[in-house]
Chains A and B, each alone.
Chain A
Amino acid sequence: MAETTYLEAIKQGLREELLRDERVFLLGEDIGVYGGAFKVTKGLVEEFGEERIIDTPLSESAIIGAAMGAAVMGMRPVAEIQFSDFSTNAFTQIVNNVAKAHYRYGAVVPLTIRCPSGGNVHGGPYHSQNPEAWFTQVPGLKVVAPSTAYDAKGLIKAAIRDNNPVIFFEHKYLYRRIKETLPNEDFIVPIGKAKVQREGQDMSIITYGAMVHYSLEAAQILEKEGISVEVVDLRSLLPFDKDRILESVKKTSRVLVAYEAPLTGGFGGEIAAVIADEGFEFLDAPVRRIASLDTPVPFSPPLEEFYMPNPEKIAEAARNLMAY
């Protein structure tokens, strides 16, 4: 069977949900004939027509506000923000309107917001950010960040079927680099469930997004040095799988949290805090974090390499943790 890329998996997920439920429609900039900036939606307008794959004006606030309006009226929109960096233009709509409507007046907002995110693509400060923590502080939203093709497909389908707003962070670096064989039958990946991507005994790396792959590479390096690493892929950040994290901590007693956003105030800090709070008695060492530096994402390759975690840096942090 042919392997499916992460990018293709998202498209398959969108297509299957468009076929399954006529309330589903897509809207965003250049998503129609052009197929989206990254070609995720290529071909869908030919199949579903301009009423279901809607090219919008360049107006993020209107895209999300209008999607919310349609959602409260019983539609199931999937809105694309061309680069997650531009989600700031829709910030009021997302964090104040969309996120709070159910709590405030019982409105159901089944809205999926696709946000291509992430660095290592020499995109500079505004085409490389990982802004998940801007949103994980907002009750009422769900936030997911798949790292594999299977999860990307399963989570986009789960997001569309969910009766709540879900922000879907798809990582640009993974689009064409990650592939796997997907099942033919319909499946979803439940929101809020983590997955152990690699079993290990000596320490746990809790991570998500592109850092899952770097952590797996680090685990391979460390295996040769006799260190057995468990890699837990959160997949969902809001809500996140506390039980699965604590289970891993119980088993390994040492934890490194790896994420791509800048260190300070990043979502990994929340994970570290939960482990310190609820897993303290299982720990043999402090919970450590490895993340990007507290600077904007720089453009020039030496700067970006210095800024971001990579497998070597993760392995080094892991060695230090083992030596504690």
Chain B
Amino acid sequence: MPKSKKENPITFRKDDIPSLEFSHEDFLNLYYFMKLSREIELRVINLYRQGKILGGVYSGIGHEAISVGSTFVLGEEDILLPMHRDMGAHLVKGQTVERILAQYLGKEAGVTRGRDGNMHHGDLSRGIVGMISHLAAMIPVAAGVALASKLQKKNRVALTFVGDGGSNVGDFHEGLNFAGALKLPMVLVIENNQFAYSTPISKQTAAKNLVDRAAGYGIPGVIVDGNDVLAVAKVCREAVERARAGRGPTLIEAKTMRMRGHSEHDDHAYVPPELLETWKGRDPIQQYERFLTENTLWTSDEREEIEARVKKEVDDGVDFAEKSPFPRGEQALEDVYAPVE
């Protein structure tokens, strides 16, 4: 485990490549998932402006490196418990573009068949446990997933997320302490995007770094540059390996910036414009594009091919979602209880 560097987030250096054990295809896939995540969200924002989306739209624009980089290092069997800005994580875990877009439109073909909105969905067939709106409430659940893994000798890891704001909820502390005490295979990534709705981190806590809390629970904590997908992947892979080796949970603080309002109805006037400017220059996707180009890890054909594929998948997904039917009212009554065996 790298020593927790309290002030400077871990970033990726070129000589880290061998330790990542990523194939050429992996490098391209990381790009594909980040790009796909961004593209879906931009289209959703567009649909929102056209009045086609019901409810609010909470985007993860700027968060792609965290949700993709962390989930990318999971194995098939590992379990994801995502948060509301983790579009990329759902995609890496195999959720389809069609189902996600149908979900946004409240359609029958959506992940929750119209029952829940926006990003509140999970899919156990793909190893995704759906979040509830109550922030941090999934952390004890992640600990339970990890506990089951231990009891069932499955060697599977639970990966979950929380925001800087959500990290102040009691469940954060109870869940993390529980996982630490029982040495459970869990990885918790704090997506510190510096604002919880309108409230800056300085008003959320007197702690300098959120990761400092790890010490209180006797577990390792690492700060990582949340806009650097390879750095996130590297740190998370180490945490996942540690968990798999039976050495317990890790707390990771990924520092980033929320690039849009809390949701699309929020003009985020409370964010100093200079802050957004600085972080715009560090866009996770553009940064990774530069990395791939500078290190000749892709050809321009490969890049164009991915971009065309992403565009087509999203076009098709929107088309599918718009054309697919709403659920019928009476379906509200289905599935309140599981059938008795």
User: Pick the contact of B204 from A58, A83, A294, A304 — CB < 8 Å?
Assistant: A58
Task: Please name all residues of chain B whose beta carbon is closer than 8 Å to the beta carbon of A89 when the two chains form the complex.
Answer: 134, 169-171
How long is the Cα–Cα vector from A30 to B197 in the complex, in angstroms? 7
Within 8 A of B (CB), among A29-61: 29-30, 32-34, 37, 55, 57-61
Is there an interface contact between A303 and B196, defined as CB atoms closer than 8 Å?
A: no
B185 CB within 8 Å of chain A: no
How long is the Cα–Cα vector from A57 to B165 in the complex, in angstroms? 7
Task: Please name all residues of chain A whose beta carbon is closer than 8 Å to the beta carbon of B328 when the two chains form the complex.
Answer: 302
Is there an interface contact between B327 and A58, defined as CB atoms closer than 8 Å?
A: no
> For this complex, into which size category does the number of interface residues on chain A fall?
35 or more
User: Do A307 and B332 contact each other (CB < 8 Å), given the known contacts A88-B134, A127-B133?
Assistant: yes
How long is the Cα–Cα vector from A305 to B326 in the complex, in angstroms? 12
Is there an interface contact between B133 and A85, defined as CB atoms closer than 8 Å?
A: yes
- Per DSSP, chain A at the interface is loop
Is there an interface contact between A303 and B55, defined as CB atoms closer than 8 Å?
A: no
Task: Please name all residues of chain B whose beta carbon is closer than 8 Å to the beta carbon of A305 when the two chains form the complex.
Answer: 329
B120 CB within 8 Å of chain A: yes
User: Pick the contact of B332 from A123, A127, A295 — CB < 8 Å?
Assistant: A295
A124 CB within 8 Å of chain B: yes
B212 CB, nearest partner CB in chain A, Å? 16
0 or 1 for each of B121-133: is its CB under 8 Å from A? (1 = yes) = 0000000000011
Is there an interface contact between A58 and B199, defined as CB atoms closer than 8 Å?
A: yes
Task: Please name all residues of chain A whose beta carbon is closer than 8 Å to the beta carbon of B114 when the two chains form the complex.
Answer: 298-300, 302-303
Counted as pairs of residues, one from A and one from B, with CB atoms less than 8 Å apart, the total is 123
A126 CB within 8 Å of chain B: yes
User: Do A122 and B116 contact each other (CB < 8 Å), given the known contacts A303-B331, A306-B330?
Assistant: no
How long is the Cα–Cα vector from A21 to B89 in the complex, in angstroms? 50
CB-CB nearest in chain B for A305: B329
A74 CB within 8 Å of chain B: no
Task: Please name all residues of chain B whose beta carbon is closer than 8 Å to the beta carbon of A83 when the two chains form the complex.
Answer: 133
Within 8 A of A (CB), among B100-135: 106-108, 110, 112-118, 120, 132-135
Is there an interface contact between B54 and A122, defined as CB atoms closer than 8 Å?
A: yes
How long is the Cα–Cα vector from A301 to B118 in the complex, in angstroms? 14
User: Do A34 and B332 contact each other (CB < 8 Å), given the known contacts A58-B168, A299-B55?
Assistant: no
B27 CB within 8 Å of chain A: no
A92 CB, nearest partner CB in chain B, Å? 9
Is there an interface contact between B198 and A30, defined as CB atoms closer than 8 Å?
A: yes
How long is the Cα–Cα vector from A136 to B331 in the complex, in angstroms? 31
Which 8 pairs across A and B sit closest by C-beta, in order of nearness? A306-B329, A300-B114, A126-B133, A34-B198, A300-B106, A58-B165, A124-B117, A299-B117
Q: 8 more A-B contacts (CB under 8 A) besides A34-B197, A125-B115, A301-B54? A: A32-B198, A34-B199, A57-B203, A124-B118, A298-B116, A299-B114, A299-B117, A303-B115
Q: List 14 A-B contacts (CB under 8 A).
A: A37-B197, A58-B166, A58-B196, A89-B169, A89-B170, A122-B106, A125-B120, A125-B133, A126-B134, A295-B336, A298-B116, A300-B327, A303-B327, A303-B329
